[in-house]
Amino acid sequence: MPYEIRALTLGMVQTNAYLIGDTETGDCVLIDPVDDADALLGAVKQAGWTLRLMLATHGHFDHVLASKSIQDTTGVPFYIHAADQPLLDRLPETGLRFTGQRFIEAGKPTRYLTDAPEVIEVGGIRLHTLFTPGHAPGHIAFHWPEQNLVFSGDALFRGSIGRTDLPGGDYDTLMRSIFDKLLTLGDDTDVLPGHGGQTTIGHERRTNPFILSYEP
């Protein structure tokens, strides 16, 4: 399937949003509606695509700040794991803690993802959900086997892992997610994380200090 991925790094903590376009049909999926709806929708328009679905890897503020604006503008469905609904509910108050000002409300999920694996299809795009909690209670990574890549959210980064000191975080849970769900993918699987640059499963298996030092 001909496709294109456009990554935009936006917001106060430089969070990666990913636009996946089926260049045959023009259908587009957004992974993580980070802060700046105008930039994201502008990129969709520039590519000549039609946004069909909005997914969130998890509910931390930097991954969902644009969700309501995009939902209000386009009406597209919004999927997130049910366990992260409390994070969405607390989004305005989270702004007070991090910036001194309230954030806008989050979008309203049209469907909840679950712990069980499923396949999300939009045009020729087929994303397999991987339940990877630990950084957030409902964290989901999205694996695209046909293209040999995974959108890892904030579970796994190049040379690092997601922080586990936020409410709902747990280090051992995150490490089990990484070992059981992500490291079981092929070493040549490309990893597109929620922050920082792209990597591969093999590179992280060989060099990531958190993975090398972890003893289950």
Contact present, 13 and 94 (Cβ < 8 Å): no
pLDDT tens, residue by residue, 21-47 = 999 999 999 999 999 999 999 999 999
**Residue 82: is its pLDDT beyond 80?**
yes
Residue type, 23: T
Architecture of domain 3-213: 4-Layer Sandwich (3.60)
190-193 sheet: strands from edge to edge? 119-122, 125-131, 140-144, 149-153, 190-193, 199-200
Q: Which residue has the tokens 């993580």?
A: 32
The residue extents of the domains of the chain are 3-213
Give the mean pLDDT of 191-211. 98
Q: How far apart are CA 185 and CA 187, in angstroms?
A: 7
The DSSP H or E segment spanning 140 is strand 140-144
pLDDT tens, residue by residue, 107-164 = 999 999 999 999 999 999 999 999 999 999 999 999 999 999 999 999 999 999 999 9
pLDDT tier, 215 (very low <50, low <70, confident <90, very high otherwise): confident
The per-residue pLDDT for 170 is 97
The per-residue pLDDT for 173 is 98
The per-residue pLDDT for 183 is 98
**Exposed/middle/buried for residue 179 (C-beta within 10 Å: 0-12, 13-18, 19+):** middle
pLDDT tens, residue by residue, 58-79 = 999 999 999 999 999 999 999 9
| DSSP per-residue letters across 152-167 | EETTEETTEE----ST
